[in-house]
Structure 1
Amino acid sequence: MDTTYSVPATVPIPSRPLYGMLAQFPAVCFTLTLLTDIAFWRSANILWQNFSAWLLFAGLVFGGLAIVVGVVEMLARRKTRLFRPSWAAIIAYVVVLLLAVANSFVHAGDGWTAVVPYGLALSAVTFVVMLLAAWLNRSVVSRRSVGVNHYA
C-alpha cells in the first residue's frame, strides 16, 4: 500500500524577486573594488587600478539594472511588496550608487592619484554605506516576521 502525505507549507513565501538576485552583483563588485584599491595602495601595481575601474563599471551597470527591475517588480507584482525595503534603505542604496559614480570618476584618472587617497576613501565609504543599506533592509524583513511561523 503506497501512501503519500502532503505537508502544507507553514509560511507562504512568494517566489523570490529577480531584484534580490540582481542586487547581489553590485554588492560584490563594490566590495571587491575596495579590496583591489587596498591591493593597489600596498603594491602600486597598475593592474589593481584597472581591476577597480572595471569592477566599478560592472557594479554600476548591474546596480542600474537592479533598480529598473526592482521598480518594475514592485509595480507589477503585488507579492513582492511584502519584501520591499524601507525608504531609508532605498535612499541608502541610491547613495551607494551615487558614491560609486563619483568613485568611478576618480578612478578614471591616471597613476597613483586615481586611487590614493580619494579613490580608496570613496571605496571605503561606499562599502560602509552598502553595509548600512543591507542592515536597514534586513531589519525591515525581520520586523515584518518574514519566514516566521507564529502558530508552531
Structure 2
Amino acid sequence: MQSSQTHRLGYPVRRQFVPVSFAAFTFTLATDMAFWQTANLMWQNFSSWLLFTGLLFGALAIIAAIIDLIRPSTRLLRPSLPEILGFLVILILAFVNSFVHAGDGWTAVVPTGLALSAATFLVILLTLVFAARSERTMNWNTP
C-alpha cells in the first residue's frame, strides 16, 4: 500500500529495479542448493545468469537512486542509511560470488559460492527489515 505522501511526491524509480535484484539473488541460493544436491552443471549456469541479472538490475537501481536524489519530488522518500549500506553489501557479495561461479564444476559452487549466496540472502533479509522499519517510520511521520 502506498502512502498519500508517495502519491503527492512521485514514485521513486529505484523501486522498480531493487526487487528484481533481490529475487535474482534469492533464486541464486536456490539454484546453488540444487547444484549441491544434484551436481548437474545446468544449475551452476542458472546461478551464473541469475547473478548477472541481479547485478545488472542492481546497477540500474543505483543509477535510478541517484536520479531519485536529484528529483525534488522523490528526495523525501530516499532510503535510510542502513538500507543503502545493506544494498551495497548485497551487490559486493554478489559481485564476488559471480567471480566464484565463473570457475568450472563443483568447486565453483561448493562450498564458497553456496556460502556467498547464503550470506547474500541473509543480508537481503536484514536490508528488508531496515526498509520496513524506515517505511513504517515515514508513514507515521506523514501529516
TM-score, length-normalised on structure 1? 0.85
Asked if 1:61 is matched to 2:76, the reply is no
Structure 2: how far apart are the matches of 1:81 and 1:94? 20
1:103 Cα deviation from its structure 2 partner: 0.3
**Among 106, 111, 127, the residue aligned to 1:117:** 111
1:12 Cα deviation from its structure 2 partner: 4.0
Structure 2: how far apart are the matches of 1:61 and 1:11? 31
Asked if 1:18 is matched to 2:13, the reply is yes
1:81 Cα deviation from its structure 2 partner: 2.3
**Among 62, 82, 86, the residue aligned to 2:80:** 86
Offset from partner CA, 1:106-136 (integer Å, 9 cap, x none): 0000010100000000000001001111111
Partner of 1:71: 66
Unaligned runs of 5+ in 1: 1-9
1:11/1:147 contact within 8 Å kept: no
Partner of 2:125: 131
**Among 86, 90, 94, the residue aligned to 1:100:** 94
Unaligned runs of 5+ in 2: none
Structure 1: how far apart are the matches of 2:74 and 2:110? 41
Offset from partner CA, 1:58-112 (integer Å, 9 cap, x none): 100110111011111111x223222211111101110000000010010000010
Structure 1: how far apart are the matches of 2:114 and 2:99? 13
Structure number with higher helix proportion: 2
Identity %: 47
What CA RMSD, in Å, does the superposition of the two structures yield over aligned residues? 1.8
Structure 2: how far apart are the matches of 1:137 and 1:57? 24
Offset from partner CA, 1:13-70 (integer Å, 9 cap, x none): 2332221011111011000000000000011100000000000011001101110111
SS at match of 2:139: coil
**Among 46, 53, 62, the residue aligned to 1:51:** 46
Give the stretch that moved more between structures: 66-75 or 97-106. 66-75
Question: Greater Rg, structure 1 or structure 2?
Answer: 1
Task: Name segments (4+ residues, structure 1) moved above 6 Å.
Answer: none
Give the stretch that moved more between structures: 110-119 or 138-147. 138-147
Asked if 1:27 is matched to 2:18, the reply is no
Give the stretch that moved more between structures: 117-126 or 78-87. 78-87
